[in-house]
Amino acid sequence: HCAWRLERGNKVIAASEDLRPRFRNAIQCMEGLALHYKTITELAAGIRKGEITSVQLTETLLDRIQSLDRKLNAFRLTCTERALEAADRADREMKSGKDRGVLHGIPYTVKDLFDVKGLSTAAGAKLLEGNVATEDSRAIRSLSQAGMILAGKTNTVQFAFSGVGINHDHGTPRNPWSQAHYIPGGSSSGSAVAVAAGLVPAALGTDTGGSVRVPAALCGTVGLKTTVGRISRAGVYPLSWTLDSVG
């Protein structure tokens, strides 16, 4: 394993050993990336080549979440049994010749604004912890139909109303690039931390005035604010109907 570091002049900025990614230079170590830092494209190719199954990938990431998230606090809840059942189904479909596309068998997580049937949508607030969804949001249904594996729901700022990422109800996710407890950015804080720390290869968030882009920037990942209305917001807890977008 390599050790990740960021260099600014002669100063080396490194995250704590147990949280930081395990490679020193992204260009030099691309060929030897650990499984949890491979891209969706690389993981999809590995599944199709028989190098790994969706169950194996999902178990690896769930184990990593179990190991690191006590410090990171990216997740509000995980869906271990549900995820493993979906991964097994994805593998069986692939073996039978049913390939749903590049996302088939790939784990992901979602900001706790998205309705997931049987799980609460708390929107970062204790007030809504009993708000159990009776059906999936449209975005979740679309990803399920594409064969993706939901690993859990990530923490967010209360009611998605802050670009800093602090949450006094469920705890503030920890930016994985610092030994000190630096802010992750918000409001899709947990989603950005989960991707940056290699807990999942991708995560859904929402963006109204920077809520995907800010935490992505602060956590060193890529965030996309889609065009308002391009992706359905049905079943997503709103902040502003005129500006909200799924990202």
Residues belonging to the active site: 111, 187, 211
Alpha carbon of 227 to those of 9, 118, 247: distances in Å?
38, 29, 9
d(CA 93, CA 86): 10
Biggest distance spanned by C-alpha atoms of the chain: 55
Phi and psi, residue 4, nearest 5°: -75, 140
- The rounded radius of gyration (Å) of the Cα atoms in the chain is 17
- For residues 133 and 209, what is the distance between their CA atoms, to the nearest angstrom? 26
- Tokens of residue 66, six digits: 């179990």
